[in-house]
Amino acid sequence: MNNKFESITRDLAKETLNKEVVLDSAYIDGNWEVIESSSISHNGIDKHALYDPSTGDVIATTRLCTKAHVDAAANAASQAILSWSQTTVSERASYLNAIADAMEQKFNQLVGLSVLNNGKPIAEAKMDADDAIACYRYYANLIAAQTTWTEVSTDESSVRLLKTFAPVGICALIVPWNFPMVTTSWKLAAALAAGCTVILKPSEVTLLPELLLGNILSAIGLPKGVVNILPGAAEVGAAMTSHPLIDKVSFTGSNGVGEKVMAQAAKDVKDISLELGGKSAIVIRADADLDMACDIISGGIFTNAGQMCSATSRLLVHHDIADALYQKLKEYTQNIHISAGFDPNTQMGPLVSQQQLNQVHKYFNIATEEKLDCLIGGQILDRSGYFASPTIYTNVPMDSCLWTEEIFGPVLVSRTFKDDAEAIQLANNSKFGLAATVVSADEKAALEMVLQIKAGHLWINEQQILFAQAGWGGFKQSGIGRELGEDGLSAYQKSKHVILPSQ
């Protein structure tokens, strides 16, 4: 077993929480500022609880920010951008590499906090930390290689046209609870590389890894006000997206909230990036290897307990192999080890919260009412914590909400198809267009198929591997814009063109 796993325990996570995580505070202008009071919760207690999803126990309480903290953070970011936007590319790259170095030094602590607060299996939390570190390094290298000025050829010999890039300004970054560290790095690394200053709102459900990030930013000496971290709920997000000092909003989350973010940002015509929902398809052609297909199907829906916007939650299988695939997939799913994230044998952990468990339970009840064919699962597990069974429904009607709506849990719905044309039609028959997977022995045929599927990120015979170099984003209601890759940097830049006389 990797040594990085051996020392990651619940005790380490709790020790890190008790000794290193700053609670009841917001990170503003390079300092932790105590939150004196926050919105009163429904039970009258001026505290926000954080939970261990594997037990349902409270692991910590903290206070959440209010609109006043958004004003303070925006003012700090506004002051900081005057100098930060003028730093050299090499200076910004140095800070990004320093963040990556510090995260490597805190690797076990970050992974432990993610397992404790999010419920992820250790193996998945480790991949998250690795991916986040790689993202900071990628943008350090990318910005260092970007040409400061480029001469653009023109038809007019009398002038020269030069092109350069400027930071878009002060950015509000709102990240979700399903991938702490990862989604933050996608947004924060690109924003800092571009020369922007930032207000970051991590999800109030999974605050712990992002709160440790504040310590890291102080430790590396990042100039004050460049990054501000506000633990807050919807009130804080709304104040950020509508704040007059904010130039850009980057939001990852549900479509319902995304629509509100878009409306709030429209008032001042803010630049906006939205990474929203998905109901992605996985197509199993008749020539597919069934063992490989089951492995890829399982990874696409049961990783992170299905709490992925890219989850390939609609299975399309050629009717000639459907019975054989379903039988093998059922056996495969029966053998998934479901337990707490700190158990090194865990393959699927709990859902992140009681609210998310209730959401999945709602769809189980709908499936029962609709008398859907349940191949396996369909139950909330009778144990402490927020555990749902990995679930597969077959022959699901296309008008069922289980087929059309994003469930965000370990729930797979399936239909058969007779040929590639029908598979493509079914894959595209969704209001979303984020991702898709095709499994086939014929790579050429699979490639022809994915090029006709309206999705932003596609895999052929592969798990949902992501690289910082590959842009991320979708079509239709899956969002606006792209993250990662060169597109991710461009999202935080504005091009500037200068016309000069010819030399």
- Which residues are annotated as catalytic? 275, 309
**DSSP three-state, residue 415:** strand
Q: Is 101 exposed, middle or buried (0-12, 13-18, 19+ CB in 10 A)?
A: middle
CA torsion, points 430, 431, 435, 439, in degrees to nearest 10?
Answer: 0
Neighbours of 148 (CB within 10 A): 8
Contacts of 26 (CB under 8 A, 6+ apart): 32, 33, 35, 65, 69, 73, 228, 229, 230, 231
Among 72, 479, 490, residue whose Cα is nearest residue 251: 479
Q: How far apart are CA 269 and CA 382, in angstroms?
A: 49
For 277-310, b where at least 16 C-beta lie within 10 A, e where not — what string? bbbbbbbbbbebebeebbebbbbbbbbbbbbbbb
Q: How big is the CA angle at 238 (ends 237 and 244), to the nearest 5 degrees?
A: 105
Neighbours of 350 (CB within 10 A): 30
The residue count of the chain comes to 503
Q: Is 44 left (phi over 0), alpha (psi -120 to 50) or beta?
A: left
In Å, what is the CA distance from 202 to each residue of 38, 182, 187, 353, 358? 16, 11, 12, 16, 22
DSSP 416-472: EESSHHHHHHHHH-SSEESEEEEE-S-HHHHHHHHTTS--SEEEESS-----TTS-B
Q: Specify the DSSP element, H or E, that contains 14.
A: helix 10-19
Task: With beta carbons less than 8 A apart as the criterion, state whether 351 and 389 touch.
Answer: no
HSE-up of residue 368 (Cα within 13 Å, Cβ side): 9
HSE-up of residue 461 (Cα within 13 Å, Cβ side): 14
Task: With beta carbons less than 8 A apart as the criterion, state whether 186 and 133 touch.
Answer: no
Calculate the CA 66 to chain-centre distance.
24
Q: Specify the DSSP element, H or E, that contains 475.
A: strand 475-476
**DSSP three-state, residue 371:** coil
